[in-house]
Chains A and B, each alone.
Chain A
Amino acid sequence: MGRKYYFIILIILLGLGIYIAPFISLKGSILDPNTGFLSWGLITTAFVCLSVLGFYLEFERAATGAKEIALVAMLGTISALSRLPFASLMNFQPCTFFIICAGYVFGPMAGFMTASLTALVSNMFLGQGPWTAYQIFTWGLVGITAGWLRGLRLTGRREIIVLAVFGFIWGWLYGVIINLWFWAFFVQPLTWVTYLLTLLNAVIWDGSHAVANVLFVSVFGSRVIRTLERFQKRFYWKNAGMITGAAATVRSIGSG
């Protein structure tokens, strides 16, 4: 296990820590979410932003050249583009499916960056807000964990089934994490009961999200993954890439 994985695990633990902390009794301390001086929403947001920044720094290290940047930029753009027509459909959208595929084929960091771009770019059209950071964080976790599935060396039908189950679980988990900002900012007191009610309020959204993931994985999963894998081979093909690269540059100069 390399340094990279320690870093990712550290951040996930950090995220979980913030998540669990409000449920531990902090009565009387400055951190008490219900009567303390500090706004719990602000603390959570600060931590989420820091985690996201950590992921970005990791990408800075992991992306060694122009290829990685161009690749995630395109994957993110398609994912963001595919979100817009579904915007009014109660979280029934193909982005999560896309992030899963990107992470699964190109690894955790590509998954995270696809997720980040999905949120940032699509929100340019749908509206940025404090939720953007949480979307990057949560979708980012989807992409990262999808990257880990690669280690299972799945093939054929099993691959699709595992990814569909994975998507179904993340559909619900996404809601569990993303509703945190709503709960921490706007609901009081911060207890299990209010949190569960907040989740209950979003149950249709999360359910349709989970169903959408299963549907998209089972209908398009294998085609999209094969396409991405084909490009993965092409991207990391040594030497020959340089020749076609020169040709493409000459062409682009000629046409431009």
Chain B
Amino acid sequence: MSSGTSYRYQDRDTVVHRLNPFAKLAWVAAVMLLAVIFDHPLYLIMLFLSTLPVIALARAWREWASLMRFMLWMSLAIVLINALVIYQGSHVLLEFTFEIPTLGQPKITLEAIAFGLGMALRLVTIVSAFVALNFTVHPDDMMQAMLKLRLPYKSVLATSMSLRFFPALVDDRERISDVQRTRGMELDRGGLLQRARNGGAVLVPLLSNSLDRAVQIAEAMEARAFGAYKRRTAFSEITLSGWDRLLAVAGLLPLPVGIYLRCLGYGKYRYYPSLQRLDPGMAGWLALAVLAALLLAILPLAWFRKRWQLD
């Protein structure tokens, strides 16, 4: 399979991988929402930095870096759009002589660039937190967690089936390609249109094949009396022990604390008309430290649980 597969979930025996999916979901939700609530660059930097130990412990640097390369491009777009459109701000770096209707005379200000950078930081933080979730939870566990959260059953089942049959379809595609090659079709040569046509010679058999498979799956499910009873049984369930509950609460805890701090006025930042001082003051630093400690608290807890096999 092409490069895509390498970024799949890979099971590693790390503290982060062994953490209960609910705890990770809670933690990522907390980081993401905090990144949206806070404007202050120092808070955003702290949130971003707090995701890094998790990535490091999960040994997911490769996946992280590949997504970050793409995010760099998007960050650039954020800075550019903000710099080009916002003419507020008192430190003008560049002023154009022409005028744009409704907008006025365009100028690029330091404040607009700083705002763009702040927003880029927000994006990078959110994506970084998602990496921690996406590459450390087994897709099946994720589906189980979704069921526990009472999401619509049939949709979750369809998703989990799709994930389950993905590798089978990859194999099918390889096999069909090989068959077409033995029949003399040159799949990797020719112009764009020729290649597209050849792609169809793989796609259509693959489609029929998998729809055949769908018929078989449906029949197998019906043979096992799918939908006959309201109460379903599952082959494996994620258990939620007392410790897991504690960890999930610990993961989510920074969120209410953060909202409370934000309501008290911490973590706000004024970009316009001129940049506010970055130093948040003694109390600000303290709030920042508390939040950072709460965010990172999940790691020693998780380590403790794994080390002593607590359940």
Contacts and interface: CB of A to CB of B under 8 A. Distances in A.
B4 interface: yes
Interface string B25-55: 0000000110011000000000000000000
Given A126-B7, A185-B119, A193-B85, A81 B217 contact: no
Contact of B9 (A39, A65, A124, A241): A124
A109 to B, nearest CB: 10
B78 A130 contact: no
Nearest to A201: B77
Interface stretch (A5-13, A14-22, A220-228): A220-228
B210 to A, nearest CB: 4
Interface in A36-77: 39, 41-42, 53, 56-57, 59-60, 63, 65-77
Contacts, number: 210
A129 B220 contact: no
B85 to A, nearest CB: 5
A176 B163 CA distance: 29
A220 B2 contact: no
Nearest to A192: B102
Contact of A78 (B1, B133, B206, B221): B206
B211 A42 contact: no
A121 interface: yes
B81 A194 contact: yes
A65 B218 CA distance: 8
A74 B122 contact: no
Contacts of B154: 59-60, 63, 68-69
Contact of A220 (B130, B173, B200): B200
Interface stretch (A142-150, A163-171, A243-251): A243-251
Contacts of B292: none
B138 to A, nearest CB: 11
A128 interface: yes
Contacts of B123: 185-186
A73 B221 contact: no
A117 B155 CA distance: 9
B147 interface: no
B203 A120 contact: no
Given A74-B213, A121-B163, A116 B196 contact: no
Interface of A: 39, 41-42, 53, 56-57, 59-60, 63, 65-78, 80-82, 84-85, 87, 94, 113, 116-117, 120-121, 123-130, 182, 185-189, 193-194, 197-198, 201, 215, 219-220, 223-224, 227-228, 231, 234-235, 241, 244-246, 248-249, 252
Given A124-B134, A186-B82, A241-B219, 5 more contacts: A72-B158, A73-B157, A129-B126, A219-B197, A249-B219
14 contacts: A66-B217, A70-B161, A70-B221, A71-B218, A82-B203, A85-B4, A129-B126, A185-B36, A187-B82, A188-B115, A223-B200, A227-B211, A228-B211, A248-B219
